[in-house]
């Protein structure tokens, strides 16, 4: 398969994805929400959560697996806690509502949370928590996904890649943003490799017989390997409880695929928490002291630094996208 890539500006990329979404009946508001999230993921180098998802999303809208006319609804749970019914639509509009709701709540109460259910693939969590840090808040987010990872020592997938993300504001420049898939890599990277006809590195996944594989097709039919061995699947269990049990979403074992147009709706969950530092000046001073001690250390790298560099480069130079993805999006948008 051709590995040709083409350059496109961030604005043009958003317009293209939005048009592709609208072509299958998605509202303008939801289409732009999807486009912003996918392009933001591309800008920070997360190509498994960018243009590679467009064709899958459109196919799922057309099959009814994603509700094109979803109307997310806020359900108050407590003074600083809400639930959001995503109405089996895209996760991104529901997350936009979560952001708009918990930012003022956190500023008033000191902490606020949002539990999203009846949701779908939520892309790069870094994109969402960064928004909280840009508002001066500390943010955390977890999400579950269709089962693809076995408990340590087991063979049957129970957990999704179940990512976790964290963000904090800084005195100037980009906020601290940490985004971890609890598998060694996000499963979207394996799907991207399958679509572009490339192998995956050894150590990412096992085939269905439990053997190591570099074949993305065999990997998608098998299991993802966790970070940190048993510790990774312990963290995946924690995320599963927050993202499915706490929200009322499906367990990962019951969630329909994010990749195929057939099958049941995923009904996955996302859980967000926003904290407002009570003494902002003291907080900023102390976090700078901590982070600068890492930045100044020879050989050390602050988590998220490559992400920040990639975003700045993308804003100036645009993003490089596989031609087959751009051709498909342009055909849908025409």
Degrees, nearest 5: CA angle 55-252-101? 75
pLDDT digits (tens, 9 = 90+) for 307-331: 999 999 999 999 999 999 999 999 9
Q: Give this prediction's pTM.
A: 0.92
Q: What are the E-state strand segments in the chain?
A: 5-8, 73-78, 81-85, 111-119, 138-143, 164-168, 176-180, 205-206, 212-213, 223-224, 268-275, 319-322
Task: Give residue 3's pLDDT band: very low, low, confident or very high (50, 70, 90).
Answer: confident
Residue range 4-17: average pLDDT? 97
Give the tokens for residue 163: 């990512």
How many Å apart are CA 64 and CA 144, to the nearest integer? Answer: 21
* pLDDT number for residue 198: 92
CA distance linking residue 99 with residue 120, whole number of Å: 17
Whether residue 140 contacts residue 164, with contact meaning beta carbons closer than 8 Å, is answered with yes
Q: Cα(first)–Cα(last) distance of the chain, in Å? A: 24
Task: Report the alpha-carbon distance of residue 34 to residue 60 in Å, rounded.
Answer: 14
**pLDDT given for residue 230 in this prediction:** 95
CA–CA distance, 84 with 75 (Å, rounded to integer): 6
pLDDT in tens, 211-252: 899 999 999 888 999 999 999 999 999 999 999 999 999 999
Name 5's bridge partners. Answer: 322
DSSP bridge pairs for 201: none
Q: Which of 199, 148, 185, 142 is nearest to 165 (CA)?
A: 142
Query: Can you read off the two tokens belonging to residue 275?
Result: 């904290």
Residues 165, 170, 171: CA angle, nearest 5 degrees: 175
Percent of the chain exceeding pLDDT 70 equals: 99
- 43: which 2 tokens? 């800008």
Average pLDDT score over residue span 263-286? 96
Taking each helix axis as running N to C, give the angle between helix 54-63 and helix 323-333, from 0 to 180 degrees, rounded to the nearest 10: 40
pLDDT of the residue at 1: 47
Kindly write down the DSSP assignment for every residue of 295-318, as one continuous string.
HTSTT---TTHHHHHHHHHHHHH-
Residue 237: strand, helix, or coil: helix
Tens digit of pLDDT for each residue in 11-20? 999 999 999 9
Per-residue pLDDT, 2: 58
Q: Cβ neighbours of residue 261 under 8 Å, at least 6 residues apart?
A: 56, 59, 60, 62, 63, 65
Q: What are phi and psi of 5, to 5 degrees?
A: -120, 155
Cα dihedral across residues 28, 33, 36, 42: positive or negative? negative
Residue 83: which of 255, 236, 246 has the closest Cα? 246
Q: Tokens 């480069």: give the residue.
A: 313
User: Which residue's structure tokens are 């594989």?
Assistant: 213
């Amino acid at each position: 398969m051709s590995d040709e890539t083409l350059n496109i500006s961030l604005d043009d990329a958003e317009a293209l994805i939005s048009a592709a979404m609208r072509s299958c009946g998605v509202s303008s508001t939801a289409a732009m929400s999807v486009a912003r999230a996918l392009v933001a993921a591309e800008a920070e180098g997360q190509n498994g959560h960018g243009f590679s998802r467009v064709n899958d999303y459109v196919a799922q809208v057309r099959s009814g697996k994603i509700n094109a006319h979803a109307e997310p609804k806020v359900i108050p749970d407590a003074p600083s806690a809400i639930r959001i019914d995503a109405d089996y639509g895209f996760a991104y509009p529901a997350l936009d509502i979560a952001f708009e709701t918990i930012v003022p709540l956190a500023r008033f109460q000191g902490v606020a949370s949002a539990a999203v259910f009846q949701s779908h693939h939520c892309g790069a969590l870094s994109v969402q928590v960064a928004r909280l840090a840009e508002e001066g808040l500390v943010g955390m987010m977890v999400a579950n996904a269709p089962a693809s990872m076995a408990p340590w020592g087991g063979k049957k997938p129970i957990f999704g890649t179940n990512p976790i993300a964290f963000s904090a504001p800084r005195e100037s420049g980009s906020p601290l943003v940490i985004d971890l898939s609890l598998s060694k890599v996000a499963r979207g990277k394996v799907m991207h490799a399958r679509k572009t006809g490339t192998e995956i590195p050894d150590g990412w996944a096992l085939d269905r017989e439990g053997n190591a594989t570099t074949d993305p097709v065999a990997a998608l039919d098998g299991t993802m390997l966790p970070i940190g061995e048993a510790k990774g699947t312990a963290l995946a269990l924690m995320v599963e409880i927050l993202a499915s049990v706490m929200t009322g979403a499906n367990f990962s074992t019951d969630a329909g695929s994010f990749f195929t147009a057939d099958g049941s709706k995923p009904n996955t969950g996302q859980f967000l928490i926003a904290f407002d530092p009570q003494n902002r000046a003291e907080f900023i001073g102390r976090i700078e002291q901590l982070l600068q001690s890492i930045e100044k250390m020879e050989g050390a790298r602050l988590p998220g630094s490559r992400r920040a560099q990639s975003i700045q480069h993308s804003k100036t130079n645009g993003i490089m996208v596989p031609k087959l993805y751009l051709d498909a999006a342009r055909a849908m948008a025409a």
